Each structure stands twice: as structure tokens, then as C-alpha cells.
Amino acid sequence: MLNSTKLNINLDRDGEEPIYRQLIRHIRMQIESGTLRAGMRLPASRDLAKQLNISRISVVNAYAELRAEGYLSAHAGRGTFVAGDGGSNGAEVNGSNNNSAENELPTTPDRSIREMMHMARKPGVISFAGGAPPKDFFPVTHLREAINAVMERDGAQALAYEMPEGYGPLRVAVRDYVSALGIRTHADNVLITGGTQQGIDLVIQSLLSEGDTLVTENPTYLGVIDIARTRRIQLHGISSSNEGIRLDMLENYILDHHPKLIYVMPSYQNPTGSIMPLHRRRQLLNLANDHKIPILEDAVYHEVRFEGEQQPPLKALDDTGIVIHVSGFTKILLPGMRIGYLIADSPHYERLVRVKQAADIATPGLNQRAIHWILERGVIAQYLERNNNEFKRRRDAALEAADKYFPPGSCWNVPQGGLYLWIALPKTGPTAAELYITAVQHGVAYAIGNVFYTDNCGSYRMRINYGAHPPAEIEKGFRALGRAWRELAADYAEMDKAPLL
């Protein structure tokens, strides 16, 4: 007789969501996060109903739906199992069919992410989950003036199709803007994009084909993982240290596989907050040049710096055109205007413009002109200074609250820029995915760490956007998180004492 796996599930009995749906969500998240692995046997419906003090029909319905979705499989007389290719456990329970497509586990975590983000939006929840700067930082008054001024000045022209490369004066302003960061380029090499995200997507579309491999740091930005999955690009993540991607491992991988593109965030990496020192930036460039592999540099947090020395972007050190630089005015000004840019040399540039035109014809002209108007007013430096001072205050509050409330054995980075605290929870308690529902019930949400990994590890990691809330909320949210962890860890200790179901 096979033993079943113990399920740690915390239901919200007062919530609006029916119990069986909560159960589906919990089990699905535990499968997607890797907490429940292919081949594991679930408790019998009667036993789980008893354990959770719910009706058996709720469990039966939940199992049935999860079977229909392909997450679970039933084997007459033996019970209910997590579906999938199974590995060693799967061989035991799935017989010879364990590689069939119908048994494949979903490879993308998007469903749990969507549910996670949805829950984080519940009223009263302090959410550290997202990647946006706080709304009260947005230059609302300047934007209103900008739109009025642009409409007054350009009228219908501001509402016409724009050139795919972007609004000419904005391309010039971006050239000037990045020259202050050390990037020497021409306006002809600037392409205005729908946010940094579109810049990344255009580069991936133009340099890679289905089945090609993109090398990233591991963990990396979730948005790039999403792009790769939707475009059917293989991802290979290389571990990183607090100085960025491990160059020795990268070199070995390049020698063996010669990938087509390397994506990195040298400044204030998302999610780890790491910053790559100058000598390593140069080494990375040498490596890329030696092997003729383009680098996609994501610099969206480059200027969110409140401590430490300013490092030049890779593009500022690039004298061969091997680096394509993407960034935007989203984290430092306004995410919703969707204005980003990329800087690329020939022959990449021309191809990128064609891909951009095919994607959306052009970035909205009114938004481009409004951002151009704001840049022309020279106010961006003031916003940056104010925002970065406040981010530092919030970072300090987060470090202090983490010290006070996070369970012993947790550790985290000390970011000098960017928005994120990258936390490792002690392995003696719940994983970040297991903790999530209890945390939301306590009024706090975060990003589950393993979604940032290319290989689904990092179960005990969580990412906190400390920039999103003022210090008092940070203190309150971290206190709630600490309480949620202790509550669940105590449940775990109890369950460890209980006999297996």
C-alpha cells in the first residue's frame, strides 16, 4: 500500500470563494510550484474532508475538476495521483505511459501567477507582489499639462499613426538622455517601444526562432520567461552571484551550446537586486565579442539607484555593437504610458524596426509626445532624486522590519537600488507558495520566488517590492508576514506529529 502525501491547506471559511474552488486553487498552486510532484498520491477524499473539516463532496468535486484539467490522475483501486512525467515516483504509479503528452504537467506558472496577483488585489491586503513604482510618485500634474500642451500644439497630428521608429523629437531626446549615462549613439539608432517589455520581445523575435536558446541569469525577470514560453524559445538560466551572472558557467555553456542571445540586467537585477561591477561588465563584453553572441541589456532599473557607485551601462562600454540596450520611462516616471526605447546598431536596428512595425505599427504618438514634453521640461532629474531618496527610506524600513519579524534562519539581500528585497525563508517551515494563502488571509501578499527561476527551483524564495509602500505599511505588512509564517510553521509541526492519512 502506497502512503499518501500530507496536504497543508489553509481554507478561508469566511471568504466568498466556495470551498471546493479554494481547494482546487491550493492543490493547483502546490503542483505548479513543485510542492506536490508528479506521481505523489493524494489523500483519499474521505480522509482529506475529515482533515479539513469540510464535506466530502467538496473534495470529490475538486479532484474531479483537477483531473479534467490534467493536474491529477485517478487509478482504480489505488487512489488519486499528481499527473505528469513522474520521474522516479511517476514510474511507480503511472506505468509505461508516463511520458505521454496528456500526462505532461503545465510548464508555465501563469495560472498561479494570475491567481496570486488577483488575490493580492483583495481590499485591505498590503501587496508587495507587483513590480510597479507607487502611484503617488506619478507626475500626474506634469502629464496633464503635457497632454494639454501637445494637443494644443499638434492637434490631430498627435493622434495620427506615428513612424515605426518613433516620434523624431523623442528619439533625439532619448539619445541625449542616454548620453548622460555614457552611451554614445545617434537618434537613428533609437527605436521607441511600447515599454521595455516590448523592447525585449522585439529583440527576441528578431534574433531567435522557435526552438533556439536564450541564456538568462537564474533567477531572472518573469516577463522574459513569459516571452520565451509564448514564443517557444528554450531558456537556459545561469546561476548568478551578488555580482551578476556567473561568467565561468556562462563561458562553459557558450562553448558547449553557442546560444544566440544573452539577456542580462547588470544594474539592480530583478529579482535579486544584484549589481555587476565594472570589471565583470568588461569581462562579459569580451566573452560576448569572442564568441560573437549579442547581449540584450535590460536597464530598466539602472537609474533607480540610492546607494553605491554608479556603473556604466554595458552599452556605454560597447565599441563593437554587440549590445542591444533596452529601457524605458516606466519605473522612473509612468508605467502606464508604455514608453520604452531600445538602442541598437546595424544590422540589428533595421530588422528590429521591421519587427516593431509588424507588431503594432507604432507606439501611440500622443504618449510619445507627452513624454517628450516632460523630458524637454528637464523635470525628470527632480523626480529621480525625490523617488530614489524615498526608495532608500523604504529600503531601510524594509531591512529593519525584516530583522524584526522574519523567522530566524531567513536571509535577504541589501539592495543599493531597484525595488526588491529577495528573501530566502528557512527550510524548516512552509515554502513561499504554501505560505501565500495564509499570508493573504493575514493581509499581506508578495511574489512567490520560484516563478523567477528557469528551472522551477527557489521554493523558499520570495520577492518583496518595498518601493510600493511607505515605511509604516512596510512595518505592518512584514509583521503580518512573520505572524503568518509562525502560524503555518506551528501547523506543520503539528502535522508532523500526526499519523499519515
Ligand X SMILES: Cc1ncc(COP(=O)(O)O)c(C=O)c1O
Regarding 335 and contact with ligand X (CB under 6 A), the answer is yes
Residue 301 near residue 270 (C-beta atoms within 8 A): yes
d(CA 329, CA 338): 8
Nearest to 30 by CA among 84, 88, 102, 98: 84
* Interacting residue with ligand X among 10, 22, 206, 270 (CB under 6 A): 270
Q: Biggest alpha carbon distance in the chain?
A: 78
Residue 221 in the binding site for ligand X (CB under 6 A): yes
| 328 contacts ligand X (rule: CB under 6 A) | yes
Contact pattern for ligand X over residues 123 through 162, marking x by CB under 6 A? --------x-------------------------------
The residue sitting closest to ligand X, measured at its beta carbon, is 195
Based on CB atoms, which residue is closest to ligand X, 54 or 380?
380
Under the binding rule (CB under 6 A), the answer on residue 340 touching ligand X is: yes
Nearest distance from C-beta of residue 267 to ligand X, angstroms: 10
Find out whether 450 and 433 touch, Cβ atoms under 8 Å.
yes
Strand order in the sheet with 234-241: 190-194, 339-343, 323-328, 295-298, 261-264, 213-218, 234-241, 244-245
Binding residue for ligand X, selected from 79, 106, 169, 223, defined by CB under 6 A: 223
Q: Cell numbers 538568462 correspond to what residue?
A: 216
Q: Which of residues 184-213 bind ligand X (CB under 6 A)?
A: 195-197
Which residue in the set 59, 300, 314, 439 belongs to the binding site for ligand X (CB under 6 A)? 300
Whether 217 and 225 have beta carbons less than 8 Å apart is answered as: no
SS3 label, residue 473: helix
Phi, psi of 191 (to 5 degrees): -120, 125
By residue count, the chain amounts to: 501
**Complex with ligand X: residue 222 or 484, whichever CB lies closer:** 222
Smallest separation (angstroms) from ligand X to the CB of 222: 8
- Cα torsion 374, 379, 384, 389: sign: negative
> Contact between 298 and ligand X (CB under 6 A)?
yes
What are the phi and psi torsion angles at 324 (to 5°)? -105, 125
Give least dist CB 281 to ligand X, A.
17
CB 445 within 8 A of CB 128: yes
Pairing between β-strand 323-328 and β-strand 295-298 as defined by DSSP bridges = parallel
The CB-of-34 to ligand X minimum distance in angstroms stands at 23
Query: Min. distance of Cβ 160 from ligand X in angstroms?
Result: 24
Of 265, 288, 402, 423, the one binding ligand X (CB under 6 A) is: 265
Smallest gap from residue 255 Cβ to ligand X (A): 27
**Contact residues for ligand X (CB under 6 A)?**
131, 195-197, 221, 223, 265, 270, 298, 300, 328, 330, 335, 340
